[in-house]
Amino acid sequence: MKKFAVVAAMATAFLGSTAYAAELEVTHWWTSAGEAAAIAEFAKVFEEETGNTWVDSALAGSGTGANPVIISRIIGGNPMGATQMNTGRDAEELIQAGLMRDLTDVVADLDIDSFYVDQDLLEPCRYEGGLYCLPINIHSWDWLWLSTAAYEKIGQPVPTDWNEYVASWPALQEAGILPFALGTGWPINGVPGVLMAGIGGTDLVMQVNRDKSADAVRGPEFRKVAEAMDMLRSVVSPETMVPSFGDAGNQLLTGDAAGNIHGDWLQGDLQIAGGVPGEDYECLPALGLGTQLTGGGDSFYFPVLPEGTDPAVIEAQEQLARILISPEAQLKFNLVKGSMPIRTDIDLSGANACMTKALALLDNGLLPSGDFSLSSDTQKQLEDLNLEFIADDNITVDDYIERYASIIEQAD
């Protein structure tokens, strides 16, 4: 059906309909239940306020599968009206090559500097005085999700930090409960960053992600992180992995698995599945150990459209840009998505328990996450390493540290 709608939309576009309402194609990779519900909020506000049509092009495969499609469409001269991408360096060359639209004038009267909660968020969007993207939320990987049902089964209180959680593993395994739920593929890739912030602390994150210091990776603090990865490896096996992170979330709700480290977008799925924070699941930001979250998030980019594009579409781009960061859309979107808004001058009383915890930590400032400060090339290499490490017990902790260090050494 969706395909039909897109084709129909394209067909009418080619026929050159002269209607005032423009159709703006928006690409994103928000395909899980919670994510799809969140992006629908943006679409609703956009269509209600402007009368334009939001043509939804959801791409499967998250950052690893959808990002390449988005990039090759832009490079290949077939740009969409607007696209979501991770806040960070994935699009930096597209910006440098002049393929993205400068939004400085579009948002000039909004005084965005005054309400963005952390100015660092805008940093990747700025290039030679222009503003080429708009961060629309703050995402953090730094969450340990715990299943209330699983701990009821073994008759223990739900842990309050990482160390208690690790200590509960033997009891869980004895009861036939999976200590750590994990989706196949990319989800493991976020885990070292979380361990780094929670166990290693702020300094380690800064040294590794921002300064790209290989010495810090070889140091004692990172060793703790690698050892924690090794512990995780001991309770995770390919047979117990589930196809996606959403399935891992379901395992938590049913009590089949006890815990999971995953980004806050998991919460959207937990809520759609009927989970209530504090009752069905618990959340521990920064593993219950740290005081700061590493943050990245999502941004919207508006590619430069080819000559001869209907001016109404170009205007629709501008309207969408302004709506995305408006208080109303920010509130509706982030409450569903489970992410933190980019502005805190809005009424967040609707936020649930987990989001409230996150908002409190936000005041301490954000730490740069890996996808925020490392190039996609470096991220890809780290992903390969993490995938290999978690599946292959023959790679020792020392090997892991050394290989991590050599990737960081060559990072740019």
Partner 1 sequence: MADVATQPAQGTETSTRPGFIQRLFLHNITAKVAALPMIATVLVIFVGCTAWTIYYSFTSSRLLPRNDFVGFDQYVRLFGTNRWNISITNLLMYGSMSLVLTLTLGFLLAVLMDQKIRFESAFRTIMLYPFALSFIVTGLVWQWIMNPTLGLQGTMRNLGWTGFTFDWISNPRMVLFALLIAGLWQGVGFCMVLMLAGLRGVDEEIWKAAKVDGIPTWRTYISIVLPMMRGVLITSVVIIGSGIVRLYDLVVALTNGGPGISSEVPAKYVYDYMFGGGNIGQGLAASTMMLLSVMIIMIPWAYLEFGGKGRR
Q: Which positions touch partner 1 (CB under 8 A)?
A: 64, 67-68, 71-72, 75, 90, 93-94, 97, 184-185, 237-239, 241, 375-377, 379-381, 384, 387-392, 403, 410
Round to whole Å and give the CA distance between 406 and 412: 12
Residues in the chain: 412
Round to whole Å and give the CA distance between 399 and 143: 27
The strand order across the sheet containing 178-180 reads 178-180, 257-261, 143-147, 281-285
Q: Which of 373, 369, 344 is nearest to 140 (CA)?
A: 369
Task: State the helix-helix crossing angle for 397-410 and 376-391, rounded to 10 degrees.
Answer: 170
Q: Which is nearer to partner 1, 213 or 376 (CB)?
A: 376
Q: Which is nearer to partner 1, 17 or 410 (CB)?
A: 410
Q: Which is nearer to partner 1, 215 or 377 (CB)?
A: 377
At closest approach, how far in Å is the CB of 95 from partner 1? 10
At closest approach, how far in Å is the CB of 309 from partner 1? 23
At closest approach, how far in Å is the CB of 241 from partner 1? 8
At closest approach, how far in Å is the CB of 280 from partner 1? 24
Burial (CB count within 10 angstroms: exposed 0-12, middle 13-18, buried 19+), residue 62: buried
At closest approach, how far in Å is the CB of 64 from partner 1? 5
Q: Which is nearer to partner 1, 101 or 332 (CB)?
A: 101
At closest approach, how far in Å is the CB of 67 from partner 1? 7
Q: Which is nearer to partner 1, 156 or 375 (CB)?
A: 375
Burial (CB count within 10 angstroms: exposed 0-12, middle 13-18, buried 19+), residue 340: buried
Number of helices (H) and strands (E) in the chain: give both, helices first: 20, 12
At closest approach, how far in Å is the CB of 276 from partner 1? 28
Strands annotated E in 177-288: 178-180, 257-261, 281-285
Round to whole Å and give the CA distance between 334 and 38: 7
Structure tokens at 248: 């891992």
Find the farthest-apart pair of alpha carbons in the chain and give their distance in angstroms, rounded.
68
Q: Which is nearer to partner 1, 23 or 256 (CB)?
A: 256
DSSP helix/strand/coil, 342: coil
Q: Which is nearer to partner 1, 71 or 134 (CB)?
A: 71
Q: Which is nearer to partner 1, 329 or 385 (CB)?
A: 385
At closest approach, how far in Å is the CB of 235 from partner 1? 15
Contacts of 111 (CB under 8 A, 6+ apart): none
